Amino acid sequence: MQKKTAYSFPDEILEHVFSFIQSGKDRNAASVVCKSWYEIERWCRRKIFVGNCYAVSPTMVIRRFPDIRSIELKGKPHFADFNLVPDGWGGYVLPWISEMAGAYPWLEEIRLKRMVVTDESLELVAKSFTNLQVLVLFSCEGFSTDGLAAIAASCKNLRELDLRDSEVDDLSGHWLNHFPDTYTSLVSLNISCLGSDDVSFSALERLVGRCPNLRRLLLNREVPLDKIANLLSRAPQLIEFGTGTYAAELRSDVYSNLAEAFCNCKELKCLSGFWDAVPAYLPVIYSVCSRLTSLNLSYAPIQNPDLTKLVSQCPSLQRMLVLDYIEDSGLEVLASSCKDLQELRVFPSDPFGEEPNVSLTEKGLVAVSSGCPKLQSVLYFCRQMSNAALVTIAQNCPNFTRFRLCLLDPKIADYRTLQPLDVGFGAIVEHCKDLRRLSLSGLLTDRVFEYIGMHAKKLEMLSVAFAGESDLALHHVLSGCESLRKLEIMNCPFGDKALLANAAKLETMRSLWMSSCSVSLGACKMLGQKMPRLNIEVMDEKGPPDSRAESDPVDKLYIYRSVAGPRFDMPPFVWTMDEDFASELS
């Protein structure tokens, strides 16, 4: 029994106060104030975010938080997006679903990123969580339309189904038919990743027609353009819409129907899709353009002048995703038209081409940085850069929170001075004091890492490739970046020294990825023995590490902190270095 003093609040009041604290970070902070706060907080926590599904076990989560309603889990490391993590690595959601099925019958929201989700898992979700409202499968794989059918059939309270960028096995187009006729609660549906046979269009039409609260609808590529008008007319309340393929023979009836349908969507603010887009049909969205806050044309092969003309009609844009067909000239127009722009992503139309196919250089980005005072987040693929441009950009945009520059030739120097790009990126970290995420590319020496360690105090995620000359570079980052949570490195000459000297730092981070670097097997073993709260995973498809010398470099290394100990679901090409490693192999 707890002794209450005159100065302590009754539990109920504290619980009420805690109910206003939504952020996980703040809740975590409150929970360590004292034991009673810890206890009260854990009973009333409803939402949990697990950034690495192997950092903790489902049992531990359930033991501490008995009544969770919303969970977000992330599985594979980020570089899995670029084919650096072989199939079978892990990230299985089934163990989590199995345990939560019993513990959290009132679970309402499941959000998964880069996890392997099987049909069995989805069937279990459908069976166990009758109150499920949100299911987001972001970059997941392992399931088919059978699993989706189970969800559709059972989850009567589902509001949001988002399969963003997932890989789904197309088995049957009729999973949409499994939503009962009485089901009307859909608010958000993203099926943009589905393949050809996956969607029965008539079922989709009926579904859209009977869900009056539908606000977000992202179609897959296979939905033809001439079906859009009909669909939109059933859902004029949409706020966000993603077309299917945006190409068709120009026909005046199709054209005018589309124009009218878009015009009637008075609340439409976000558009995407536009696969295979042809310029002829672009003007049908002009009536919506002035309201658009988000436009994703990154799958549209349209070029200038059509592309620039479209952009110039969207003065309210806050978020723009586009291919490099926009070119410097288009970005200059963007800079002068879209003063509210916060986020810009420019993707390469021909990333592996020998020669540049478009005139997109550093000038476009400089123009946007100069014209758009609210610019915070940039992802920019291009073929040339200069320190001078980067310095200008940094000075123009001290409010950057995310800056990712990808030079298609990863070790290219400043094209004007032939110097490394150290000074340019140095200016970015020096001026942008709130920078949380940074991706480097181009010719870079240890210098740039010195700047990063010195200035990037709020940096949480750093991506590095083909950069640096020695361990000093890695040491600068690990010792200087106080807020660092995720560090991913490929093809850099970083070895054991910096890693071993900063081993303790690794426990303050979520994860470290190093592939094609120079970290030796011996160092991995040593880390494994000395740091029990880290999982040191060595990945090598060529064979077990025991057959090689201690000084041999490991192919891929993934280190993450964990309170759950080493995992047991590893494929044959992943080995955990822990105290038992040596004895396991004998």
Partner 1 sequence: MENSVAYEKATELRLGLPGIDEPAVLSSVKNNKRPLHDEKSGENGKSAQNETAPPSKAQIVGWPPVQSYRKNNFQQAKKSESECGGIYVKVSMDGAPYLRKIDLKVYKGYPELLQVLENMFKFTIGEYSEREGYKGSDYEPTYEDKDGDWMLVGDVPWEMFITSCKRLRIMKGSEARGLSCSGV
Question: Applying CB under 8 A, which residues contact partner 1?
Answer: 79, 81-84, 86-89, 92, 139, 142, 165, 167, 193, 221, 275, 298-299, 301, 323, 347-354, 381, 406, 408-411, 439, 443, 445, 463, 465-466, 469-470, 490-491, 493, 515-518, 540-542, 548, 552-553, 555, 569, 571-572
In residues, how long is the chain? Answer: 586
> Given the complex with partner 1, which of 299 and 425 has the nearer CB atom?
299
CB of residue 83 to partner 1, shortest distance in Å: 5
Is the Cβ of residue 349 or residue 535 nearer to partner 1 in the bound state? 349
Select 142 or 426, whichever has its Cβ closest to partner 1: 142
What is each CA distance from 475 to 162, 369, 442, 469, 494, in whole angstroms? 40, 31, 20, 12, 9
Give the span between the Cα atoms of 339 and 113, in whole angstroms.
33
Helices (H) and strands (E) in the chain, counts: 22, 23
Q: Which amino acid is at 494?
A: F
Per-residue tokens: 121: 């898992």
Is 479:455 a contact under the CB 8 Å cutoff?
A: no
Element (H or E) spanning 381, and its range? Answer: strand 377-382
d(CA 523, CA 506): 14
Distance, C-alpha 446 to centroid of its chain: 28
Name the minimum Å distance from CB 566 to partner 1: 17
Give, for 212, the enclosing helix (H) or strand (E).
Answer: none
Distance of closest approach, residue 481 Cβ to partner 1, in angstroms: 21
Closer by beta carbon to partner 1, 154 or else 220:
220
Q: What are phi and psi of 299, to 5 degrees?
A: -110, 5
Nearest Cα to 452, choosing from 468, 442, 466? 468
Please identify, using beta-carbon distances, which residue of 315 and 410 lies nearer to partner 1: 410
Q: Are 367 and 344 in contact (CB under 8 A)?
A: no
What gap in Å lies between CA 340 and CA 348, rounded to an integer?
24
Q: Least CB distance from residue 128 to partner 1, whole Å?
A: 21
Judged by beta carbon, residue 67 or residue 350, the one nearer partner 1 is 350
What separation in angstroms does the CA of 488 have from each of 37, 79, 351? 36, 8, 21
Nearest CB to partner 1, comparing residues 116 and 459: 116
The C-alpha atoms of residue 245 and residue 298 are separated, in whole angstroms, by 13
Q: Considering beta carbons, is residue 406 or 531 the nearer one to partner 1?
A: 406
Quote the least distance from Cβ 352 to partner 1, whole Å. Answer: 5
Minimum CB distance to partner 1, residue 73 (Å): 18
Nearer to partner 1, 109 or 324 (CB): 324
CB 361 within 8 A of CB 338: no
Shortest distance in whole angstroms from residue 51 CB to partner 1: 19
Tell me the closest approach of the beta carbon of residue 202 to partner 1, in angstroms.
25
**Residue closer to partner 1 (CB basis): 255 or 299:** 299
Nearest to partner 1 of 298, 483 (CB atom): 298
Beta carbon of residue 212, minimum distance to partner 1 (angstroms, whole number): 31
Long-range contacts of 298-303 (CB under 8 A, 24+ apart): 298/322, 298/323, 298/345, 298/347, 299/273, 299/274, 299/275, 300/246, 300/274, 300/275, 300/276, 301/276, 301/277, 301/325, 301/349, 302/274, 302/277, 302/278
Rank residues 146 and 469 by Cβ distance to partner 1 and give the closer one.
469
The secondary structure of residue 441, as a DSSP letter, is -
Q: In the complex, what is the shortest distance from the CB of residue 189 to partner 1, in angstroms, rounded to a whole number?
A: 18
Q: Which is nearer to partner 1, 135 or 413 (CB)?
A: 413
**Smallest separation, CB 36 to partner 1 (Å):** 43
Query: What is the CA angle 206-212-218, rounded to 5?
Result: 65
Closest distance of CB 138 from partner 1, Å: 11
CA distance 537 to 548: 16
| Residue 476: CB minimum distance to partner 1, A | 16
Angle of helix 362-371 relative to helix 387-396, nearest 10 degrees? 20
